[in-house]
Structures are given as structure tokens and as C-alpha cells.
Amino acid sequence: MRSELKKLKYRLSRLTETPKITCTLCQEKIYEFEPLDKHYLEMTAKYGFPYALEDAETLNVTAYNCPLCGGSDRDRLYALFFNKSIEPDKTYNLLDIAPAKALAAFIKKKKNIAYRSADLYMPEVDDKVDLTDMHIYKDNTFDIFVCSHVLEHVPDDKKAMKELYRVLKPGGWGIAMVPIFKSATEIKEDPTVTDESERWRRFGQDDHIRLYSKAGFKERLQEAGFEVKEFTTKDFKKDAFSANGIDPGSVLYIVNK
């Protein structure tokens, strides 16, 4: 009921306009995607974060989230990949780490995917799991995993990557994404930093303990055993990125076992 009321208010707020965009996640017609919350711009500026948010590899600051489902630009990118990669006559077991609400709802609509969510702190997940010790799952359990913007929070990300590799079936694939700043030349990390202002300054967010470079992120995934593939705008239908508010320089990292 609440979502329907939200839709109604949204339509009434722009009664004289015609919505021209369809959100890939919720399939609702909208007028435009909303920009990134200015809080992030204000805080990175306040604490002297050395990178501009526009330097982030997969982030559209001006068209970040859907006004109805709240799905982010990266979630819409994942949805595009699911739509092109999921075979209708095949069944999949999927693990979603720290699930994003809009993406989770999108995946659950696919009848041939057995969905399971996991996180150590989120209250409404299927399993309470430490990403560095997922002993509740046997080896080679899942066909697919989603681990998006989680590893930058984890003190031992190498151990977490090895666990993701362990629970993935041979031939399976995963979405592995973290914030990457294109001009960063190396990984910068310090799990001992607890001061929020210092985390904003060094890592770009108050709950991050690491800032990845592109090369460093790929190298750690490969060390865990993964084959890493990059998907860009050329791997999708023409105009798919622009129609979905995805920055043309965005990169989707798919790992294979």
C-alpha cells in the first residue's frame, strides 16, 4: 500500500509531464533518475577526500537512483546483465551478500532462481553470515553470487574473496563490485582506522576501511582463484547505458570459477 501511495504522489507531483524512462529494476515509468544524495559530495569535500566522485568508475552522480524503487545505477547495470545472461530453461542457486532492496526484488521475480540473502548485521536476511567464514554453506553450493560494495567494509577482504570462490560452483559466476577511483594507482587500506572523519578523508565514506585501485582489485580476485571479466557498454545493446542512467564509462566485474 505504501509503495502504491508513493507512486501516486510521484505522478501527481508532475501531472503535466509524460514519463519517458522505464526503470529496468521495477519496470515503472519515471520522468528521470535522481542525483546522488548531496551528503556524499558535502562530506568528501569537508574532510578533504582527494578524489572527485566523478572519478569513480561506475557511478552516475547526476542520475543515481530510481525515485520509485530506489535502485542505484549499478543495480540497473546488474539487472541488464541478468536479463542477458539468465537462461529461462535453467535453474540457479543464488547468494546475495548484503542485499540491495530493489535488486533483490528484481532477482526474486525470476522464477528459475532460488534466492538466498546473507549478511552479518542486516536484520531481514535469510542467513546471518560473516563473509570471511561462510561455513554454513558447503563447497560449490551456488551458481551465482552478488557481492556489491561490501568488500571495502571487510577487514580481511582476501579471506572473504576466497570464501566466495569456495562456495561458488565450478562454471558459476559472480558479480563482484567495489568503489573504484580511476586515478587511484594502488589499494589504500587500514582496518585500524575508526575515526569517521579520517575514514571520509582516506576512503571516501565513514564506514569504509579500504579504497581500491582497478588493478589492485582485479589482482586480489585473481589471487583468490577467480577469472575476472570486464563488461562495458559495448557488451550490451546499443543505448542501454544511456536509457538506464548508467555512466558510459561504467565497468561490470564478473568473476568465474
Gyration radius of the chain's alpha carbons:
18
CA distance readout (Å), 179 to 55, 85, 226:
10, 24, 19
Residue 36 is part of a domain; what is its CATH number? 3.40.50.150
Helix axis angle for 38-46 and 196-203, nearest 10°, is: 100
Residue 100: pLDDT band (50, 70, 90) is very high
What's 75-116 look like in SS3? Answer: HHHHHHHHHHHCCCCCCEEEEEECCCHHHHHHHHCCCCEEEE
- Asked whether residue 15 carries a pLDDT value surpassing 90, the answer given is no
Which tens digit of pLDDT belongs to each residue from 52-93?
999 999 999 999 999 999 999 999 999 999 999 999 999 999
- What pLDDT sits at residue 68? 93
What are φ and ψ of residue 203, in 5° steps? -120, -5
The range of the structural domain enclosing residue 83 comes to 2-256
Dihedral of CA 154/159/164/167: which sign? negative
pLDDT over 50 at 104, yes or no:
yes
Q: pLDDT tens digit string along 190-220?
A: 999 999 999 999 999 999 999 999 999 999 9
pLDDT at position 11 over 90: no
* Cα pseudo-dihedral 125, 129, 134, 135, rounded to 10: -100
Q: Tell me, what DSSP letter sits at residue 212?
A: B
Predicted local confidence at residue 221, as pLDDT: 98
What pLDDT is attached to residue 16? 64
Structural domains of the chain, count: 1
**pLDDT band at 94; cut points 50, 70, 90:** very high
Q: Name the DSSP letter for residue 235.
A: G
Q: pLDDT band at residue 1, thresholds of 50, 70 and 90?
A: very low
Q: What is the pLDDT of residue 20?
A: 85
% pLDDT > 70, the chain:
95
Residue that the C-alpha cell 501516486 belongs to: 8
Considering only CA atoms, which of 150, 140, 129, 159 is closest in space to residue 224?
A: 159
Q: Residue 244 in contact with residue 80, Cβ under 8 Å?
A: yes
The DSSP result for 152-179, as a single string, is GG-TTHHHHHHHHHHHEEEEEEEEEE--
The pLDDT of residue 59: 97
Residue 166 pLDDT > 50: yes
Does 5 score more than 90 pLDDT?
Answer: no
Q: Nearest-5° angle of CA 121, CA 107, CA 172?
A: 85
> Residue 19: pLDDT above 90?
no
